[in-house]
Structure 1
Amino acid sequence: MGKQSMLLKALLSFMLIFIIVGISFGQNWQTNFQAAQNKAKTDHKPIVLVFSGSDWCAPCMKLEQEIWNSDTFKSYSDAHLVLYKADFPRKKKNQPDNEQLKKNKELAEKYNSKGFFPLVVVLDETGKVLGETGYKKMTADAYIKQLESFIK
């Protein structure tokens, strides 16, 4: 009985960790913009393109913590949006590979020519800009309503 009990506890612990990790990483940020556009066309969903400086931009970090990481936004985005983050970290250890950096710069030239951080651009499935916003101190629900106002 003792070995079975220990095995059951270990199994339950593993399952709990798996569930927590699944919830934490449940958000589906695309890593390739072309793939994001293809998914948007297939699923008929808008794209939320985020220009971020993940390791130096305080408002970017707040947006990440308060909105993108909220359970409310994660649930909503999984059902209604295609997400893509063009990150421009400054620390060498956080730098994306050269190919990704080049693609992010091309997106910035097209959609963020003024260099605002953070900049959240809502695009239709063809890449047409529907609206733009940035960090604002608000709830995830209010932020979602703002994004929806661009889409409708």
Structure 2
Amino acid sequence: MGNAGYVGSVTADKGMKFAVVVARFNSLVTKELLEGAIEVFERHGVNPPDVDVAWVPGSFELPVVAKAMAKSGKYEAVVCIGAVIQGATSHYDAVVSAVTSGVLHASTDSGVPVIFGVLTTDSLEQGLDRAGGKVGNKGGEAAATAIEMASLMKKLKAEGKA
């Protein structure tokens, strides 16, 4: 590609497999985010059986399962979906920090893209706005990012760059 650089495709190659790890806590929001992710995966060429979904109790538990799934070698990318709402928890900052760091480490430790689809909002209303409401669906955006990153990593590996 020369100086043009490397760019991932937003359309999945046939047979690409993805994992989604979803927090049950704040499920009013996370179920909508998951639906958005599944819809985008299908719209961008991923067959429904090629998306595995794992449920964890809360956002704090996302990184350990995401890392295990990423390291399994079965998935091109893993999407983490959760919702940490300021008003719903007194330890908001600690949870957000731990989840952010954990998702990053799951990705860097495994070499597999692990996508941060965790909402961090001040209220349930803001969460719902980002889960298919006024601001679109951030779960769908995370799925699109997963496809693009998986495609980019595949191109880099084919060129011996990763």
Higher relative CO (CA 8 A, sep ≥ 6), structure 1 or 2? 2
Structure that is richer in strand per residue: 2
> Would you say same fold, with TM above 0.5?
no
TM-score of the superposition, structure 1-length normalised?
0.35
TM-score, length-normalised on structure 2? Answer: 0.34
Tell which structure's C-alpha radius of gyration is larger.
1
